[in-house]
Each structure stands twice: as structure tokens, then as C-alpha cells.
Structure 1
């Protein structure tokens, strides 16, 4: 039985190694952790500064759609990166699982830690960008980490379940890539929900990722507090996801270790 402290040590070591390995073969190395979000923000602030301004109801702020787009993309990328990487976590770390005793439910946390480092760096640059263009950062921002944390917990539960199933059915990763493509365009990240037919707009409110993206847009773009019912629903969905993933892994853990 692996102790909780040992499991956390594994998480930090794997997270650090993951961040190092991302750009190990690049000449600039870890500098890409800073350059990529900078390029991301520069691209969207330049290309989309005038696009869809009329849909946002203002011509006074040329950067409003850019703020809408980047804030939504950063939240979506956090979710999709965690889910897609966790879907291959056990098969990808089979060599490690065979050699040392690891807690299979806690070990994948290193992916969440790694993705949060990237997310925090990108959000920091984004906040500086907002200050430069004069877009206010209101008190609502204090809830932004909570929204990101809840969405990450949802992604963790889903990812661990998919990673467990992937050991038995390797096609899971390919199917997930398609599902995430559809999920991206079915979530109002690059467009506003009000351009959809009324029935489709109503269906959006059953999508947990929409709750997080919508809360992010409200906080960052319009300086609104997230709707309490959506925030609470996201929290409940996260708990269900985590409990289900723990139960599935506990049931299949012996078979997972045998197959790996």
C-alpha cells in the first residue's frame, strides 16, 4: 500500500518531469512555456480585434471579442488537455507502473499539475494584456480559480475513467479526439450562444463545460458573478465524476495492473 505522502511525491516528480520533457529537444527549452502563451495572445488580439464586435453589442472596444475568445479558449484548453492526456495516462506510464508501486488514482494528478502551470502562465500574460488595453479586472476574478478548479476536477474524473477503459479498449483515445472536436464547436467558445436557435441555446445549459466557459466569460468579459445554479451544478457534477472514477478504478485496478 502506497502512503499518501509517497503518492504526492510521485505527483510532483512526474509533473516536473512532464514540464521538462515538453520542450527538452527544443533550442529554447523551457522558455517555450512563456513564448507559446505570448504568441497565442498576440495572434488573437491582432487577428480578431474587430471580428464579431457587433455581436457583442459594442463598437467602442475593439478588443472585446479578443477578450471573449481568449478567456473561453484558455478554459476550454485546460479541460480538453487534461481529459485527452489522462485518457492515455495508464498505458503511457505502463513502464513506471510495472516497476514501482504507485497509487493509480492519485498518480495521474501530475498531468493536472502540469496543465495548471501552463494555464496559470497563460492567464498571467492574459491579465497583463487586459491591463495594457484598459479592460477592467474586477472582484469577480476571485472566483475564476474556483471555476477552473471545478472544471479540472470534472476533467480528472472523466479522464481517469477513460484512462482505465483505454487499458482494455485502446480505441478510446481516437474516439475521444472526435468527441472533443464536436464538444469544442458545441460549446460557445468562439461564438455567442445567442446566435443559436432557441432550442439549441436551452440545451447548452445541460453541458457542464458550458457552465464553466459561460462563468468565465461572465467574469472576464462582462464583470458578472457566475450564476449560482450553474456554479452549484458544476460542483455537483465534479463530485459525481470523481466518485465514479474512483469506484471504476477500484473495481478494475487488479485487471489494469495485470494488463499493463
Structure 2
């Protein structure tokens, strides 16, 4: 693993320039350019806020704020969106860049890092847009928001590790990518993003707690809505699962990388 990390460090400029090129290509011939990276998530966040707080008037128990559910949902959607984008793109990244892998010699793990870096930038811009919407509701930042980088790191490690494993499997069996589209939809509804765990029947709560994303999404929701910092006990299991998945993906990649290009 150390040798892999060293090789990735040597190619850090390639990774950073590739992330920059990806954004440049995305907004080519656009007059507003990268400003769309702010406008799109801001529009998404605003629509959620207006519909949920003004139209549906959904409320959360023990919180006297009509925008509470909108804040809860946007926090959960932000956490889930980061996970889903990294995992989805990593699942197909080796196939998407198959021609590049065949023509240029570079550490193959650079590709997941490139798509992961791009997803992380999108996520940060979405959080900035959500913060602006929160201000309109009078929901001011608290010290608990400082825990977001921890939640972000755990989500990235988990999504990156799982995405690499699925990306390798997808090279050898293209059905994996198709199946994961369905699995992600089911996984989303087994994660408390649009509903409260307190509203679920008790027999389902144990199942939801087995979902690694439940604890990771909860970090965002507690910080952004309740202003609550997670305890060490709340972070221990997610940290072990995320770091374990990340390390395991390196081991799998080392065993499969020799046959990767041939399978493409």
C-alpha cells in the first residue's frame, strides 16, 4: 500500500490537472463557465427549501422551525449525493477511460482519485449553496458544522473503497454497473434521508442501523440541523467501516490490476 501511495504522490500534478481539465471541458463554450457550479446546486437547494417548508409544511418534532425538515433533507441529500456520485463514477471509471489506460502508462488508481476529486469539489459547492439557503431561513452556522470535514472524509473513504471494488468487478462483468443502479435506488430508501428514524416501526430500526450510510448521513443531519457534535462512540464504527473498506480496496486492486487492461 505504501508503494501505491508513493506512486500516486508522484503523479499528483497529473491528478490535479486532470480534475481541472474535466471542469474546463464541462463548461466549454459556456458564457457563465464555472459559475454554473454555484447556480445549479443553489437552485436545487432553493427548490427543496421552498417546496418543503412553504408548500408541504413538513415539520420535525421538538423543533419550532417550519424550515427544519427542509434543512434535514438537504443535509441528508448532500451526504448521500457525495457518496452516490463517487461510487457511481468509480464503478465505470476504468471502462470510461479504457483507451487512456491502453495508451498511457500511469498508476491506474489515479482515475478514481480524479473522479473522486471532481465529486468532492461539487460537494463543497453544494454545501456553500445550502449554507446560503440556510441564512435566508435564519438558520445560522454553529460550531457543530466543523465536524462536516470528518463526515466528508468518512464518506469519501467508504465510497472510494466500495467504488474501486465495484469498478474492478465491472471490468470483468459489465452487469455489475447495471445492477448497482438498482441497488443504489434501494439503498437510498434504506437510508434515513427523506424520513426520520423515529417515525419508523421499531422492527425496521435495527435493519437501518446495519446500513453504514445511516451513521454517515446522521453526522450531516445532526450538525446542520441540530447543531450537535457526534461523540467518539458515534464515529468509531463508521470510521472502522470506512477505513476498512478503503484499505481492503487497495488489496483487491493489487491482485486484480495485472489483468485489468487485458480485460478491457
Provide TM-score, normalisation by structure 1: 0.93
Matches within 5 A, 1:71-220: 71-220=75-224
Aligned partners of 2:59 and 2:65 also within 8 Å: no
Residue 224 of structure 1 corresponds to 228
User: In structure 2, the residue corresponding to 1:107 is in which secondary structure?
Assistant: helix
Tell me the alpha carbon deviations over residues 166-187 of structure 1, each in whole angstroms, 9 at most, x when there is no partner. 1100111111110100011111
Tell me the alpha carbon deviations over residues 52-80 of structure 1, each in whole angstroms, 9 at most, x when there is no partner. 6444334x312111111111101100000
Matches within 5 A, 1:11-26: 11-24=15-28
Residue 32 of structure 1 corresponds to 36
Aligned partners of 1:86 and 1:163 also within 8 Å: yes
Aligned partners of 1:154 and 1:238 also within 8 Å: yes
CA distance in structure 2 between the partners assigned to 1:138 and 1:10 by the alignment: 37
Which residue, out of 66, 69, 75, partners 2:70? 66
CA-based RMSD of the aligned residues comes to 1.8
Provide TM-score, normalisation by structure 2: 0.92
CA distance in structure 2 between the partners assigned to 1:103 and 1:73 by the alignment: 32
CA distance in structure 2 between the partners assigned to 1:215 and 1:227 by the alignment: 10
Aligned length: 259
Q: State the 1:102 CA deviation.
A: 1.5
Aligned partners of 1:69 and 1:190 also within 8 Å: yes
- Most deviating of 9-18 and 156-165: 9-18
- Most deviating of 195-204 and 77-86: 195-204
User: In structure 1, the residue corresponding to 2:53 is in which secondary structure?
Assistant: coil
Q: State the 1:119 CA deviation.
A: 0.8
Does residue 47 of the first structure (1) align with residue 51 of the second (2)? yes
Aligned partners of 1:56 and 1:65 also within 8 Å: no
Structure 1 unmatched runs, 5+: none
Does residue 57 of the first structure (1) align with residue 59 of the second (2)? no
CA distance in structure 1 between the partners assigned to 2:247 and 2:94 by the alignment: 19
Does residue 241 of the first structure (1) align with residue 245 of the second (2)? yes
Aligned partners of 1:75 and 1:213 also within 8 Å: yes
Structure 2 unmatched runs, 5+: none
